[in-house]
């Protein structure tokens, strides 16, 4: 879930701030009481300035449930997730997602978004999920832990009840057609991110290249993210597309259980 506020500088704010502070400390006149007072005032001003910039960059509706602009539907390539987990913890017993029935694209989440940035954890503590709600979503999101996490971080920002939010997840998933080449991938392949984008655009009338992005780790395709209006129609989202995978080619491991 599957994002940061708008970038106002070419350098991270923290770097600019600390560079200013460090340069200030090099002034040789620091031993003088007046110089020390001037230094303290300069540092205080720099922090105030930075906080003001951050506040400006944040959306004024920050973390208010139901007040957002659009959704991102994040579809995770399950075989990549399973391979990554195995790489990190080779002795770990596979969970149900990786050891049970084979999964291809699964729902990672449905994320409320601002035009710049996104809300998160809008209700703390979050309203609890009942067992039936979790069980009903396992065909799309094959991990109870993921379902709880997505509700806490993103679902609480939708302004919907748990039941209504996961109905929205199901509706959003139904809107996006998975290209036939990726429905039952029984062998690993190598693709370019552009090929994956093109396949989704062709399979989904009305979906533009500017309405989606392909994500990757250091070598594998990890997710496809599709932007949707609140009525679940496709919509462009340059902020999301800008964060797309930059690798020339990525691996798509075969569906598990093969």
Catalytic residue positions?
108, 150, 154
Do the Cβ atoms of 176 and 108 come closer than 8 Å? no
Pairing of strands 105-113, 250-252: unpaired
Helices 162-175 and 144-153 sit at what angle, rounded to 10 degrees? 110
Do the Cβ atoms of 110 and 169 come closer than 8 Å? yes
Do the Cβ atoms of 37 and 30 come closer than 8 Å? no
Structure tokens at 175: 């809107």
In eight-state DSSP terms, residue 154 is: T
The C-alpha atoms of residue 172 and residue 148 are separated, in whole angstroms, by 18
Element (H, E) at 147: helix 144-153
């Amino acid at each position: 879930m599957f994002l940061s506020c708008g970038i106002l500088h070419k350098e991270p704010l923290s770097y600019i701030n600390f560079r200013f502070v460090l340069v200030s400390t090099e002034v040789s006149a620091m031993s003088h009481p007046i110089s020390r007072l001037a230094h303290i005032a300069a540092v205080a001003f720099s922090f105030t300035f930075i906080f003001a910039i951050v506040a400006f960059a944040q959306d004024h509706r920050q973390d208010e449930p139901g007040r957002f602009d659009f959704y991102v539907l994040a579809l995770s390539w399950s075989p990549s997730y399973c391979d990554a987990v195995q790489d990190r913890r080779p002795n770990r017993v596979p969970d149900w997602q990786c050891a049970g029935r084979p999964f291809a694209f699964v729902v990672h989440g449905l994320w409320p978004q601002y035009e710049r940035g996104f809300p998160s954890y809008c209700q703390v503590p979050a309203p609890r999920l009942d067992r039936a709600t979790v069980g009903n979503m396992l065909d799309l999101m094959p991990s109870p832990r993921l379902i709880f996490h997505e509700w806490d971080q993103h679902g609480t920002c939708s302004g919907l009840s748990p039941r209504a939010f996961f109905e929205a997840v199901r509706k959003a998933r139904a809107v996006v057609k998975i290209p036939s080449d990726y429905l039952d991938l029984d062998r690993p392949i190598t693709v370019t991110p552009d090929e994956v984008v093109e396949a989704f655009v062709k399979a989904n009338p009305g979906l533009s290249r500017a309405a989606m992005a392909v994500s990757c780790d250091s070598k594998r395709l990890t997710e496809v993210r599709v932007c949707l209006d609140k009525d679940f129609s496709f919509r462009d989202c340059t902020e999301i597309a800008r964060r797309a995978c930059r690798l020339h080619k990525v691996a798509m491991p075969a569906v598990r259980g093969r």
